[in-house]
Chains A and B, each alone.
Chain A
Amino acid sequence: MIEAQNLTKTFKDKKRGVITAVDDVSFTCRPGQIYGLLGANGAGKTTTLRLLATLLKPSRGHATVAGCDVEREPEKVRAHVGFLAASTALYGRLTAREMITYFGRLNGMTDPAIKARIQHLATELDMAEFLDRRCDKFSTGMKQKTSIARTLVHDPAVMIFDEPTLGLDVMTARAIVGFVRDCRNRGKTVIYSTHIMSEVEKLCDQVGIIHGGRLVAEGTLPELRARFGEQDMEEVFVKAVGGEAALAAALKN
């Protein structure tokens, strides 16, 4: 379960002064559901997810992840979270097995437990062939599988995905989407940020549209379609953010 209440994050910038990247955002994400955070580049998706993963501290508001407060118990929050983003890379000089083992140890697992978990994940993700090869020699697909295994090694209750298909080929992106769906089917709480409308349509049970740091619309896909009177998700999104002009202005900023 993820509960965000009035979550706000400001940054100081020498040129632009104080920037509000996330502005008073509140939402709830339940177990067995995928909450899609939909927004253009720079809308505040990554900052929101980083706040939930305790990589950043909120300036105002608060959030709980798996029952733990992100400000007061950041280590406990991270112990319950698997975070996968385009920006979370692998250690190139380690093998896939070493990489997963390292994160297992960092999550406080014992070596026999890690060994058993790797065996399970390698079978599930079809990684046996490259498990003992160095990550810097991997194809994109191999890298993604290893990253997924890394996020799952401690079997977290909450999965946070920040544009995980960014820059991936079609097959790898499809595999990721399948994996996200599996997480939901196993009862995990899943939050998924993207700007790809088709992914939202395929995956999300609940959608939050974020624009200029604010959550401008929220609901299930049918609710959003009904509210904005559009069937096409792209049109829904454009209307939700205030039209094309508002979207273009935000992208320019």
Chain B
Amino acid sequence: MNLHNIFTVYLKELKDTLRDRRSLMSMIIIPTFVMPALTFGVGKIAAGVVNKAREETPAVMIVGGDDSPGVAAALRQDKKLKVVPTAADWKQQISDKKVRAAVLIPVGFEAGLKAGAADAVVIYNYDGELKSGFAVSELEKFFRDLREQTVTARLAERALPATLVKPFDLRRENVAAPEKVGGNLLGGIVPYIIIILCFTGAMYPAMDLTAGEKERGTMETLLCSPVARVDLVLGKFLMVLTGSLSAMLLSLTSMGLSATFAGFMFSSGGGAAKLAAAAHQAGAAGSAMPMIDPFGLLGVVAMVLPVSVFFSAVIFTVALFAKSYKEAQSYVAPMIFLIIMPAVVGMLPGIDLNARLALVPILNLSLVCKEMLSGIWHWNYIALIFGSSCVYAAIALTLAVKMFNREDVIFRA
């Protein structure tokens, strides 16, 4: 192994790659601009859609209730509901999203309430439809209030205290630090994005430096040089790794800067306060980035390093086998699904790290990143995952060198 030769090959490949638009897109443009734009843009749009849906007064129908005029009148006076005249095809109208919900007031409801017991009120809705959901919430709140008023009135009639049915209050308060809340919210999605970007960042340089070179006829030119093949592989591999790491680091930096910028905007008062309130309302919809523990992020970067080496070496090896760029794409592109699956599983709630899962590539990274971003540091698992990732990376790199030395791969006709 000759470091000077490896560095010479690396520098040439870096120059060559920086002049290749496809590689630049996957290495620099997408991670720097597209991912944060997607994260914040989609979050902003989602928050906007939710807020707009909330602002709409949902149209509802009252089915029955002719003998309960008081309840029907109270419903009509509720400013958060728009009671429209009842139609015979009210079920169809809900399905067609013309009305958001309907409430069935049973016969003799008011009389039954006065007598002590009434039949059930039924709310009809469109399951899974956002605006129908808001209408149901309002209707449920209306009837919950009605129930509480009835209970209060009955207690008053019997001269009993309100505490009889409500002996204590229940409150909820968050004690976790903002970065832990942030880590918990984003713990799943951040590693997911990093894993995908690490892969796509390596993808185009790897294909260009292997199958691309074969297709363009420069591979044979390069093999004529007196440099040992292992040096050629390592120089090229370092370039692929640069692509992978630059995609990861640029995306983390740009997401971090965006989060800081968003945080600054939300905390600087005035017009920004309004924005913060809107963001707060939107909750986890993504328009406001909660704080992320910087040590957690550093931990993520450290854990991603061997996985990035692993990705780079695997894509390099697979692409090397192909005769053309197109063929390489057809081999490498489906690999994204193999990467996404464990990354998605890692995002699922309820799946926690254990010794067995710590050995499953990608999934282990996803799980440990989630923990580290939430401020949980299981050092034994971290060591196991880092160690196993290094072993996988070493195996993949050895395989890449072996493949590069195979005549039937390099001169595959």
Count A-B contacts at CB 8 Å.
64
Cβ of A11 under 8 Å from chain B: yes
CB distance from B182 to the nearest CB of A (A): 42
One of A103-111, A197-205, A212-220, A240-248 contacting the partner: A103-111
Q: Type the 1/0 row for A48-67, where 1 means its CB is closer than 8 Å to any CB of B.
A: 00100101110000000000
- Given contacts A75-B226, A79-B226, A106-B225, are A85 and B220 in contact (CB under 8 A)? yes
Q: How many residues of B contact A (CB 8 A)?
A: 22
Please state if A91 and B407 are interface contacts (CB–CB under 8 Å).
no
Q: Which of A55, A79, A150 contacts B223 (CB 8 A)?
A: A55
Among residues of B, the one whose C-beta sits closest to the C-beta of A150 is B221
> Which residues of A152-205 are within 8 A (CB) of B?
none
State the CA gap A140–B16 with chains docked (Å): 21
0 or 1 for each of A89-123: is its CB under 8 Å from B? (1 = yes)? 11111100010001101111000000000000000
A interface, how many residues as a size bin? Answer: 20 to 34
User: Which residues of B, 211-232, contact A by the 8 Å Cβ criterion?
Assistant: 216-218, 220-221, 223-228
- Consensus secondary structure, chain A interface: mixed
* Complex Cα gap A94–B228 (Å): 22
- Across the interface, which residues of A come within 8 angstroms of B12, CB to CB? 91, 94, 98, 102
The answer to whether the Cβ of B96 comes within 8 Å of any Cβ in the partner chain is no
| B221 and A88 within 8 A (CB) | yes
* Alpha-carbon gap, A50 to B221, bound state (A): 12
Residue A76 interfacial (CB < 8 Å): yes
Q: Which of B8, B9, B218 contacts A91 (CB 8 A)?
A: B218
B8–A81 CB distance below 8 A: no
Are the CB atoms of A75 and B227 closer together than 8 Å? yes
Smallest beta-carbon distance A105→chain B, Å: 5
Which of these, B8, B15, B218, B224, contacts A90 with CB under 8 Å?
Answer: B218
**Contact call B15/A94, Cβ cutoff below 8 A:** yes
Q: How far is the CB of B164 from chain A (nearest CB, A)?
A: 83
User: Can you list 17 contacts pairing A with B, beta carbon distance less than 8 Å?
Assistant: A50-B411, A56-B411, A57-B407, A75-B227, A76-B226, A78-B225, A88-B220, A89-B217, A90-B221, A92-B216, A93-B19, A102-B8, A103-B225, A106-B8, A107-B226, A108-B226, A150-B221
Please give 8 more A-B residue pairs, beta carbons under 8 A apart, in addition to A75-B226, A93-B19: A11-B408, A75-B227, A87-B217, A88-B218, A89-B221, A91-B16, A106-B5, A106-B8
